Amino acid sequence: MTAHERKQDTRLRIGWIGTGVMGHSMAGHLLDAGWPLTVYTRSKAKAEPLLARGAAWGESPAAVARASDAVFSIVGFPADVEAVMLGPDGALNGLARGGILCDMTTSSPELARRIAAEAEARGCASLDAPVTGGDVGAREGTLSIFVGGDATALATLRPCFEAMGKRLMHCGGPGSGQQAKLANQIAVAGVMFSVCESLLFAKEAGLDVAQWLELVVPGAAGSTAMNTLGRRLLKPDYAPGFFIDHFIKDLGLCLEECRRMRLVLPGATLAEEFYRMMQAQGQGRDGTQALIRCLAELSGKEWRGQA
């Protein structure tokens, strides 16, 4: 990219909706890279650190869009996406012709296609661009980003994506970014059982789990989750890099797509049932690694970690 192109990029006015665990860091990278940023979140207090660094405040998603050329969102659930994008005071109602909507929430492929159709009808473009990499990837700007939708809009926003992540895939038309992310979540569901069951077995076998982990992580049984969440479980630390409540949402979306495709995935189905059971027990705001407590309880055990 030439210096002239980089200067042009920084003139793009960016709107950002949602400053939670992921969104706060992602928006911060755009601010650091020099894009003028207008933000909105349901609780203004969550946006205060960004406002202190120079971001402007929008009183609603529509107000954010009126001040922006492109509007990103990363919120909780598909209903939230629909409200902030298509609602009466949503971003599409404030966005000028030629503007771009980009939802980075893990959401419904069908909703992504509907947003794209309504945006196109108003002379705008839309992308669905969910991410993987968790809170650590968001903070470090190393996310992987799955993008569905208009290729021209993707080219326009590519510098923004590059400020937030290290890997990007254009998956196809509207909704395909969401489908790619759901495939990722199916993989995560299996990995979480792998991490938690193996640590629990090692502990009950009387092994030094911390030492065992150091040998396993570099090998064939290792994974990013083993390296990060496995280490948190030794403390034990159940703070959310990703909320159980949100993972249940994702797995539910996976199973909806499976029904549409007439596809049976027993592992994803089992994971959704286990996490719903934990949610019913009041653990929905814990991180997904808290699965180890549920697995321990099945055998009348208690996971206490290993300091």
Specify the pLDDT at position 4: 32
User: What is the percent of the chain with per-residue pLDDT over 70, rounded to a whole number?
Assistant: 96
Strand duo 14-17 + 70-73: pairing: parallel
Where b means 16+ CB within 10 Å and e means fewer, 222-253 reads ebbbbebbbebbeebebebbbbbbbbbbbbbb
Q: Spell out the domains of the chain, with CATH numbers in brackets.
A: 3-173 (3.40.50.720), 180-298 (1.10.1040.10)
Specify the pLDDT at position 242: 86
Bridge partners of residue 132, in order along the sequence: 144
- Which residues have CB under 8 Å from 233's CB, separation 6+? 195, 196, 199, 289, 292, 303, 305
> Got the DSSP string for 268-285?
HHHHHHHHHHHHHTT-TT
Calpha distance 234→210 (Å, rounded): 7
pTM of the entire structure? Answer: 0.89
Calpha distance 12→98 (Å, rounded): 12
Strand duo 131-132 + 125-128: pairing: unpaired
Specify the pLDDT at position 241: 82
Q: Which two tokens stand for residue 66?
A: 């009126």
Residue with tokens 């099945």: 298
Specify the pLDDT at position 60: 97
Given pLDDT bands bounded at 50, 70 and 90, which one contains residue 8? very low
Average pLDDT score over residue span 151-155: 97
The pLDDT tens digits of the residues spanning 198-221 come to: 999 999 999 999 999 999 999 999
Contact 171, 147 (CB under 8 A): yes
Q: Which two tokens stand for residue 243?
A: 């909320």
Q: For the chain, how many residues are written? A: 307
Positions marked active-site: 181
pLDDT at residue 240 is higher than 70: yes
Specify the pLDDT at position 1: 38
